[in-house]
Structure 1
Amino acid sequence: MSRRRQPKFIERHGARATAAASGLSTLPALASDVAAHALQWWELPATGLAGLLLGGALWSGIHRLKPGGIRRAAGTSQRPAADAVFTIDGGTRITLANPMAERLTGLARHTIRDNLAGPLMRGFTDQAPQIVEAALACIKSGQAVRLPDPVEWHAPDGRHHVLQLTATPAGEVGEGASLVFSDIAGTLAPAAHLQHGAAHDPITGLPNRALLLDRLCQALANAQRRGSLLALLLVDLDRQPGQAGGRQGPDDAVFRDAAERLRASVRAGDTVARSGHGEFIVLMDNLTDRTAVVAVARKLLNLLDRGFDGEGSGLHLSCSIGISVGPDDSADAETLLAMADKAMYRGKIAGGRRYTFHSPELDTWSHDRLSLESALRHGLVKGEFEVFYQPQINLASGNLTGLESLIRWHRPGSGLVQPEAFIPAAEASGIIHGLGDWAIIEAMEQLARWSREGLATVPVAINLSARQCADTSIVDTLRKGLADSGLAPSLLKVELTESTAMRDAGLAADLLQDIHGLGFSIALDDFGTGHSSLALLQRLSISELKIDQRFVNGIDDNGNDAAIVRGAIALAHGLDMRVVAEGVETQSQLRFLSEHGCDAAQGYLFAQPLPADEARNWLSGPPPHALHAIRRLAGGLLHSA
């Protein structure tokens, strides 16, 4: 992408602004509470480029001071910001957003976070490409860049805003930028009281966050006076409609439906509020214990775990619920909300579709989670991840028939980290989008390098996460990867788990049809662990079933597992699908699979996941020693082709 020439204004005044900011060199030594007060620059209108650069330097210093403290500090103020600010990392993924950014997009900050800036902003402005170009120029140069043309922004509430974009560096060169949208026409926030003048959400008619906080403060005072309890239930939809970056209007009916279900679940007198795009809050007061809270939480889970009719097509949503109890957990309204949010997040990272009460242990867990998220983000920027490849063996010939790409993390101080230790956190936080996109492109580029070397290439399988499958932009990522690598799509296979496909079968069918249209073959991973049907398997454009290793492991000593494996092989072949068994570790497992017609297998019996240079040996010339050993071990077990 060509670098945008910076305005002469920046050239004239940039040095002065940088000099003004240089006095902040001691900021990392400040205590976190001082840093929180210093964030008041975030609340004030920009007073010229020098002031903007000064604010950017301050924000950068706080970012370096304490990654986990950024969100807490940024969320402490209740005064409305005059500018909408999105902070992005070096890959243009949004890491922070201020309250005015919420107003501009109609999304909660935790929903905005981890989206790529370009796809998110395409839903609100046609100038998203220019915004991203300015952001990248700022990140690359380490200097502020102002977009020369005003940005025409269409807010979800129907209002039209004219904004000025200035991108300022966040951190060192290449680390990120703050995208500051200043209100030119005066339509965004004429005054603080106008921003929160409306007490209810315009789409659902529910109280908004401001009104909820007012009621929560009153309820806390009453609870302390009466000696009673109250509960906050933060309800977050596990997959939100329209989350791929488009405008939110077409999904209004879904949110209205969700609001009605919430109203129907609570007691008379309880408050149901909408605090963000897919986030609702229930306030229950005048409680004597937690019994009623549990009953309501269970009812909410059941009512929201049903189909919605968004835009006339079936849509399956579920929710995660975080619960805090006042004044037992805290007598402060904002703290109670933060506690409920931590509990919700803990439930989401555990798989969602559950309610979770806040506990003191969650404070430690939350700190560890934020540290892990920060390490993941830095690891992605610093190149700490590597794609490994596990061979798949054709059981008819004993030859290599494919490779599955699997991500590994070289975390400093921890050695090689397996995916089960970090993928759940990456999924729940949204980091999986950037990480997954990188893994896809890296696998494609590696396969292209092998092909250019003249090696006999075999198909490489690419894994898609649940959150990637919920974002239709993954099709664009795959399309771009094909174009950039020059690979034939027949050399690539997309894998998704059965549980991911069944979470929203309609969405999965549409997505897989689009992916299949690019020429990719599609494999259903972990088969047998979900609840798929024959009709659905035929609908999903699947050409391969992968039997989950837990059933393969039970072949020798569990008759039920052996029966499931036999049935899965017969079912797949009846639907003209190929079968691959995962986790093969013993000769007896290999014998069973071969005798019952399994097409291919992978597992430690053949090879563990290998770095690219070791996987290359399986492609270059005669089979390596390991493959010869496998053939000798198999002996006469391999069935005739």
Structure 2
Amino acid sequence: DGFKNINDRHGHDLGDHLLRHVATRMKLALREGDTLARIGGDEFVAVLIDLDDSQAAVPLLDRLLSAAGEEVQLGDVSLQISASLGVTFYPQVEAVEADQLLRQADQAMYLAKLAGKNRFYFFDAENDRSTRGHFESLERIRNALAAQEFLLYYQPKVNMRTGAVIGVEALIRWQHPDRGLLAPALFLPVIEEHALAVVVGEWVMDTALSQMEHWQNDGLVLPESFNVSVNVGARQLQQGNFVAFLQTLLAAHPQIRPAQLEVEILETSALSDLAGLSRLIDDCHRLGVLFALDDFGTGYSSLSYLKHLRVSVLKMDQSFVRDMLDDPDDLAILRGVIGLADAFNRRVIAEGVETEAHGRRLLEMGCELGQGYAIARPLPAQAFPQWLQHWQQNPVWGVADVALAARSA
């Protein structure tokens, strides 16, 4: 737990020394006949034999946690970390292969982290069997990526006051051969804590930039400030090579200016390492890539984010926008976010602009940028040029702007 912070603060050499010390102590905590192996990064796997049930395993698991949590003195630096353990058992009611056992243990480990870290968590095979039908397996998602079953839809972002189209947000969909077109909520949670999330995230960024090039090569004239925004998850951001990946990606798409790529990150992504995320954003900003803070207002450290993170745009969460016409509290939150954006010199955009009335009220509060069903639903790539050709500003929003100007005068 928290090993990345050790590397970031003290360097990889010291981090490697720490890993060796912790590995030695964990190995000494095991019994003869048990096996401990490092499978990559800061992850280890242990094969523990002759344990009849979960209760018999508890003393050994406690010893592993204690060994991992002992203080380590390396030169003049004193370090102490903890570990999260995921545990599964063999045999099971259903036949399982070795790689499936590893996935079960991996899933349980992340549940241990979510539960507070420095603890162990048992994989619940019975519960897994009962809920397995609700989720696609990691392997199925990996195969879908290889079979090119994923595609991107694009939802326009506009200036509601002027009618200008400022960009699109790329949104992944799964064209499932049996279940039809699937929304991301039906499959992305399965890979959120898995390395596959990084692979899918990189595919989204590459595909979005390729589509921008296709539009331009087909003669579509895009506004100068037009950009495509992509959602990047916490796991992808935490990869040590994220900036290098961006450099390689931009080099592979020379027609796209760096400022035409906007990376959207969830406000909650920064909770664990605000300083590290700030450095990463600064590095990407030097490349020319823009950042937006998504679902702003749903987290707990908004003022700290605005102070430390070099983001260009705040995206107001659609849950607040959707209910703003009926809920005074949501309306007050939106007013507060718009005020913060103005005070910190950030642009602000509203998601979930579902009706004409939503857009009018947002304009009255000083929020000009929006996306949502009142503007356009997410569109297949081939449908966007036609939408762009026929898009016109809602005349009522223009009237709202005139009325606001009159009141200001």
TM-score bin (small chain): 0.7 to 0.9
Question: 1:489, 1:414 → 2: CA distance?
Answer: 37
Determine what percentage of the aligned residue pairs are the same residue. Answer: 32
Question: 2:154, 2:175 → 1: CA distance?
Answer: 16
Q: Give the deviation of 1:431 after TM superposition.
A: 1.5
Could you say which residue in structure 2 is the equivalent of 1:279? 43
Could you say which residue in structure 2 is the equivalent of 1:117? none
Could you say which residue in structure 1 is the equivalent of 2:222? 456
1:565 and 1:587, CA in 2 relative to 1: closer, same or farther beyond 3 A?
same
Whether the 8 Å CA contact 1:556–1:562 is kept in 2: the answer is yes
Could you say which residue in structure 2 is the equivalent of 1:410? 175
Q: Give the deviation of 1:610 after TM superposition.
A: 0.6
Q: Pick one of 597, 600, 611 that aligns with 2:369.
A: 600
SS of alignment partner, residue 446 of structure 1: helix
Could you say which residue in structure 1 is the equivalent of 2:147? 382
- Return the TM-score normalized by structure 2: 0.75
User: 1:348 and 2:117 equivalent?
Assistant: no
Could you say which residue in structure 2 is the equivalent of 1:60? none
Whether the 8 Å CA contact 2:7–2:15 is kept in 1: the answer is no
Q: Pick one of 300, 317, 320 that aligns with 1:548.
A: 317
Q: Give the deviation of 1:430 after TM superposition.
A: 1.4
Gaps of 5+ in 1: 1-236, 264-268
Once the two structures are superposed, what CA deviation does each residue of 1:254-301 show, in whole Å capped at 9, x if it has no partner?
5479789x99xxxxx998996434336798x999997x969x99xx7x
Q: Give the deviation of 1:506 after TM superposition.
A: 2.4
Question: 1:312, 1:565 → 2: CA distance?
Answer: 49
User: 1:469 and 2:237 equivalent?
Assistant: yes
Q: Give the aligned residue type for 1:410.
A: Q
Whether the 8 Å CA contact 1:391–1:402 is kept in 2: the answer is yes
Q: Give the aligned residue type for 1:352.
A: L
Higher relative contact order, chain-length normalized (CA < 8 Å, sep 6+): 2
Q: Give the deviation of 1:500 after TM superposition.
A: 1.4
Q: Give the deviation of 1:491 after TM superposition.
A: 1.8
Q: Give the deviation of 1:309 after TM superposition.
A: 12
Q: Give the deviation of 1:480 after TM superposition.
A: 2.5
SS of alignment partner, residue 396 of structure 1: coil
Could you say which residue in structure 1 is the equivalent of 2:345? 576
Bigger Rg, structure 1 or 2: 1
Question: 1:352, 1:567 → 2: CA distance?
Answer: 31
Q: Give the deviation of 1:503 after TM superposition.
A: 2.5
Could you say which residue in structure 1 is the equivalent of 2:157? 392
Question: 2:146, 2:53 → 1: CA distance?
Answer: 50
Whether the 8 Å CA contact 2:162–2:398 is kept in 1: the answer is no
Whether the 8 Å CA contact 1:580–1:598 is kept in 2: the answer is yes
Once the two structures are superposed, what CA deviation does each residue of 1:497-532 show, in whole Å capped at 9, x if it has no partner?
111123322221121112111111110111122232
SS of alignment partner, residue 193 of structure 2: helix
Q: Give the aligned residue type for 1:322.
A: G
Once the two structures are superposed, what CA deviation does each residue of 1:224-253 show, in whole Å capped at 9, x if it has no partner?
xxxxxxxxxxxxx48757999xx9644235
Could you say which residue in structure 1 is the equivalent of 2:388? 619
Q: Pick one of 142, 161, 184 that aligns with 1:419.
A: 184
Count of residue pairs the alignment pairs up: 380
Question: 1:338, 1:316 → 2: CA distance?
Answer: 32
Question: 2:234, 2:133 → 1: CA distance?
Answer: 23
SS of alignment partner, residue 482 of structure 1: helix
1:557 and 1:535, CA in 2 relative to 1: closer, same or farther beyond 3 A?
same
Question: 1:456, 1:340 → 2: CA distance?
Answer: 48
1:638 and 1:343, CA in 2 relative to 1: closer, same or farther beyond 3 A?
farther
User: 1:251 and 2:20 equivalent?
Assistant: no
Q: Pick one of 513, 516, 519 that aligns with 2:285.
A: 516
Matches within 5 A, 1:39-50: none
Q: Give the aligned residue type for 2:345.
A: D
Could you say which residue in structure 1 is the equivalent of 2:200? 435
Q: Give the deviation of 1:434 after TM superposition.
A: 2.2
1:279 and 1:368, CA in 2 relative to 1: closer, same or farther beyond 3 A?
farther
Could you say which residue in structure 2 is the equivalent of 1:589? 358
Q: Pick one of 352, 369, 372 that aligns with 2:137.
A: 372
Q: Give the aligned residue type for 2:107.
A: Y
Matches within 5 A, 1:72-83: none
Q: Give the deviation of 1:533 after TM superposition.
A: 4.6
1:601 and 1:370, CA in 2 relative to 1: closer, same or farther beyond 3 A?
closer
Q: Pick one of 444, 447, 452 that aligns with 2:209.
A: 444
Root-mean-square deviation (CA, aligned residues, Å) is: 4.6
1:563 and 1:316, CA in 2 relative to 1: closer, same or farther beyond 3 A?
farther
Matches within 5 A, 1:490-529: 490-529=259-298
Once the two structures are superposed, what CA deviation does each residue of 1:295-343 show, in whole Å capped at 9, x if it has no partner?
x99xx7xx98xxx999999x999865434589xx979xx9999769625
Q: Give the deviation of 1:570 after TM superposition.
A: 0.7
Q: Give the deviation of 1:363 after TM superposition.
A: 4.6
1:490 and 1:362, CA in 2 relative to 1: closer, same or farther beyond 3 A?
same
1:426 and 1:330, CA in 2 relative to 1: closer, same or farther beyond 3 A?
closer
Q: Give the deviation of 1:469 after TM superposition.
A: 0.4
Question: 2:158, 2:269 → 1: CA distance?
Answer: 26
Whether the 8 Å CA contact 1:349–1:427 is kept in 2: the answer is no
Whether the 8 Å CA contact 2:229–2:262 is kept in 1: the answer is yes
Question: 1:243, 1:410 → 2: CA distance?
Answer: 40
Whether the 8 Å CA contact 1:320–1:352 is kept in 2: the answer is no
SS of alignment partner, residue 507 of structure 1: helix
1:507 and 1:310, CA in 2 relative to 1: closer, same or farther beyond 3 A?
farther
1:255 and 1:598, CA in 2 relative to 1: closer, same or farther beyond 3 A?
farther
Q: Give the aligned residue type for 2:241.
A: S
317-326 vs 448-457, greater mean Cα deviation: 317-326
409-418 vs 533-542, greater mean Cα deviation: 533-542
Whether the 8 Å CA contact 2:293–2:315 is kept in 1: the answer is yes
User: 1:322 and 2:86 equivalent?
Assistant: yes
- Return the TM-score normalized by structure 1: 0.50
1:400 and 1:547, CA in 2 relative to 1: closer, same or farther beyond 3 A?
same
1:357 and 1:403, CA in 2 relative to 1: closer, same or farther beyond 3 A?
same
Question: 1:432, 1:381 → 2: CA distance?
Answer: 14
Once the two structures are superposed, what CA deviation does each residue of 1:42-92 show, in whole Å capped at 9, x if it has no partner?
xxxxxxxxxxxxxxxxxxxxxxxxxxxxxxxxxxxxxxxxxxxxxxxxxxx
Question: 2:170, 2:322 → 1: CA distance?
Answer: 22
Once the two structures are superposed, what CA deviation does each residue of 1:165-199 show, in whole Å capped at 9, x if it has no partner?
xxxxxxxxxxxxxxxxxxxxxxxxxxxxxxxxxxx
Once the two structures are superposed, what CA deviation does each residue of 1:518-573 show, in whole Å capped at 9, x if it has no partner?
11111011112223253442322111111111222232333322222111111111
Gaps of 5+ in 2: none
Whether the 8 Å CA contact 1:325–1:336 is kept in 2: the answer is no
Matches within 5 A, 1:229-308: 237=1, 249-252=13-16, 255=19, 275-276=37-38, 277=40, 278-279=42-43
Whether the 8 Å CA contact 2:206–2:249 is kept in 1: the answer is yes
Q: Give the aligned residue type for 1:252.
A: D
